[in-house]
Structure 1
Amino acid sequence: MTVHDPRLHAFRTDLADARLKGEIVADRFVAGRPARISVPMADIRKAPRPDAGVNTQALFGDDVLVFEDADGWAWIQAERDGYVGYVAETMLGGRDHAPTHIVSVPRTFLYPGPDLRFPVAGQLSMGSRVTVTDAAETRGTHYAVLASGEAIIAGHLRPIGEVVSDYVSVAETFLGTPYLWGGVSGFGIDCSGLVQLAMRMAGRDVLRDSDMQAASIGEPLDPGPDYAGLRRGDLVFWKGHVAIMTDAETMIHANGHTMLVSREGLKDAIGRIGYLYGGPTGFRRP
C-alpha cells in the first residue's frame, strides 16, 4: 500500500477529500456528505460506468461519505473499511434511523410483514445493519419488525456490538457460497471478502484487499518446517489470494478453482496454486 492509496483515500486531480488538504494536490477539496447504503448489496466500481470493474461491495446499512454526485453516480468512501469508489446514486439513502441489529446468518429474507407465507420482499446478507422497531409472532415464528415496516426472522439477527469469539466458525458458515470477484456477501464472496466479513462478525474491522490484509492483520508468522507451526485462525497469503486455516493442515477459502467457498488441504493448495502463482508469500496470526 502507498502512503495515499487511491483505494483508501478519496483524491483525484480535480477533487479530493477535505481531510487530505495539505497532503495531496487537487483543484478542489470537499467534505464528505453522510449517506447510507439502501440496497442489499452495492457494487463499488473503479469508474462511474456500469461496465467498470467491481472492486468491492457495500452492504445494506453501511455508512458512506459522498464526495461527488454526477450523472447518476456517486463517488464515495465506505466508513467501515475506508474503501473508495463509485456507486449508483439510487443505491444511497439518508441516515434516518440508527441501526440496532446486524444480520448474523449468511443470507436471510425480508417479508412485507411478520409472516413467512408472505411473498418475499427482499434478501439481505450477513453483515447488513437494520433498525428494529418492534417484535411479532406468527404461528410460533418470531419476527423482528423493521423501521420500514418489513419483517425479518428474529433469530437471524443479533444486536449490534454482540460478536462471536471465533471468526473461523463464521467463515465456515459460508461453505458452498459462490465465488464472486469483489463480493463481500452471502450471495457471492471472494477470498479477502470472506476474511473481512468473518472478522467483522467477530468484532474486528479489517481492510478489504488481500495485499492490505497481508500488511496489516495481526503479526507475521513463521510456520516453521513443513508448516507445523500453523493453527486455527492463521492466515496464509499468496500473490492476490488469502486463505484461513481451520486446523493445522486444512484451510477454507473462496477460490476460483472450485468457484465456491471450500475446504482444501494446505499442502494440496500449495501444490495446485504454485505452478501459476508461486508459493505462499506470507503467514499472519490475527
Structure 2
Amino acid sequence: MIYHTIHLPVVDMKKTPQESGEIVSQTYFSEHVLIKKHLKDWVEIITTDGYAGWIPASSLLNREVPYISKDKVTNIHARLYDKPDAEESPLILLPYGARLQVVETIDERWFKVLLPDGKQVFVQRGDLAKEPKGLLTFSKQFLGIPYVWGGRSSFGYDCSGFVQMLYQWAGMHLPRDSHMQCADKRGRKAVLEELGLGDLIFWGTSDGVIKHVGMYLEKDSFIHTSSREGKPFLRISQLSDAEWNGNKENRFPTREYRRFF
C-alpha cells in the first residue's frame, strides 16, 4: 500500500486542476490524503475531513509506510532549522497542527525531527509544547490571524475551517463547511438565552442558506473569522453588533444555534 503525505506547509485545494481554479479548501504538512484521480501534473485528493479538491502532484510524497507522529506543532507557527541555531535562516515555516516525528532530544531547547521525505532537521521544543487547557484560552491564541477563503491552517482560516480546528482540538471531528456543520445530526438546537462556551452560531441568508459560523464564548461574545466589517482577521465580536445581530435588514438576517458538547 502507498501512503500519500503532504510535504509542503500549506497547499490550496482547487475546484479544477489549474492554478487559476477556485480555492475550495486546503491541506497541510503531514496530512495523509487519498488520491481520487490523476490528470497530468495534478491530482484530485480527499483530505481527512472527507473534502475533495485538486492539488499539484508535486505537493505529495508517496511512502510505503505512513508518516506517524504523536507530536505536533502547538505554537501558531513553527520554524524548522538545518541546525539547532535560531540565528540561522529557517528552512520552512509550519502551521499549527502539523505533525513532526521527534527522533532525538538535543538539549533543553531543541528537538531533532524526521520529516516525511527522510530529512532530519531541528525545531525548538517550545513549538511542540503542551497546549493550554480550556477551550476559551485555546481559541483566543489565534486572534489576529488573517481571514483566508478556504483557509484551514494557522496561516489563515476561513470561518468553518477555524471552528473545525477548535472542535478537533476538543475531540470532535466536524464536517468542513458551515452548512454541513449546521446540518450535523450531533448538534442539538439551542436558544440564544442559554448559549454557553463552545456552542456554535450559524448565520444565513433570508432564504435560510447558511453562510457563516462562529463559536460562542461568554457574555454575548463569539470568536470567528470573516472579511466583513473591514476586519479580515480572526476576532471576537458581539452578538449585538450591527453586522451580526440577525436583523432582517442585514446580509445575514437569520441565526441558528447548535450545541455539540
Q: TM-score, normalised by structure 1?
A: 0.79
Structure 2 unaligned spans of 5+: 204-209
Q: Percent identity?
A: 27
Contact in 1 for aligned 2:190/2:259 (Cα 8 Å): no
Contact in 1 for aligned 2:5/2:33 (Cα 8 Å): yes
Per the alignment, residue 266 of structure 1 pairs with 239
> Does residue 1:60 correspond to 2:29, yes or no?
yes
Per the alignment, residue 9 of structure 1 pairs with none
Contact in 1 for aligned 2:131/2:138 (Cα 8 Å): no
- 1:164 Cα deviation after fit: 6.5
Structure 1 unaligned spans of 5+: 1-31
Per the alignment, residue 198 of structure 1 pairs with 166
Per the alignment, residue 156 of structure 1 pairs with 127
Where 2:93 maps in the other structure, the secondary structure is strand
Of the three residues 202, 213, 221, the one matched with 1:250 is 221
Per the alignment, residue 284 of structure 1 pairs with 258
Where 2:164 maps in the other structure, the secondary structure is helix
1:272–1:153 Cα change, 3 Å: farther
- 1:34 Cα deviation after fit: 3.0
Q: Residue 246 of structure 1 aligns to which amino acid in structure 2?
A: L
Q: Which moved more, 1:105-114 or 1:37-46?
A: 105-114
Contact in 2 for aligned 1:40/1:125 (Cα 8 Å): yes
Per the alignment, residue 74 of structure 1 pairs with 43
- 1:273 Cα deviation after fit: 7.4
Per the alignment, residue 46 of structure 1 pairs with 15
Contact in 2 for aligned 1:76/1:85 (Cα 8 Å): yes
Contact in 2 for aligned 1:232/1:248 (Cα 8 Å): no
Separation in structure 2 between the aligned mates of residue 235 and residue 73 of structure 1, nearest angstrom? 36
Where 2:244 maps in the other structure, the secondary structure is helix
- 1:86 Cα deviation after fit: 0.6
> Does residue 1:232 correspond to 2:197, yes or no?
yes
- 1:101 Cα deviation after fit: 1.1
- 1:151 Cα deviation after fit: 1.2
Contact in 2 for aligned 1:113/1:149 (Cα 8 Å): no
Per the alignment, residue 77 of structure 2 pairs with 107
Q: TM-score, normalised by structure 2?
A: 0.86
Separation in structure 1 between the aligned mates of residue 259 and residue 137 of structure 2, nearest angstrom? 16
Spell out the pairing of 1:86-97 with structure 2 (5 A cutoff).
86-95=54-63, 96=65, 97=67
Spell out the pairing of 1:154-233 with structure 2 (5 A cutoff).
154-157=125-128, 166-216=134-184, 218-223=186-191, 227-233=192-198
Per the alignment, residue 121 of structure 1 pairs with 91
Contact in 1 for aligned 2:78/2:94 (Cα 8 Å): yes
1:284–1:93 Cα change, 3 Å: same
- 1:118 Cα deviation after fit: 1.4
Separation in structure 1 between the aligned mates of residue 183 and residue 213 of structure 2, nearest angstrom? 12
CA RMSD of aligned residues (A): 2.1
Spell out the pairing of 1:10-21 with structure 2 (5 A cutoff).
none
Where 1:277 maps in the other structure, the secondary structure is coil
Contact in 1 for aligned 2:2/2:62 (Cα 8 Å): no
Spell out the pairing of 1:29-40 with structure 2 (5 A cutoff).
34-40=3-9
Separation in structure 1 between the aligned mates of residue 169 and residue 200 of structure 2, nearest angstrom? 17
Per the alignment, residue 207 of structure 2 pairs with none
Where 1:99 maps in the other structure, the secondary structure is coil
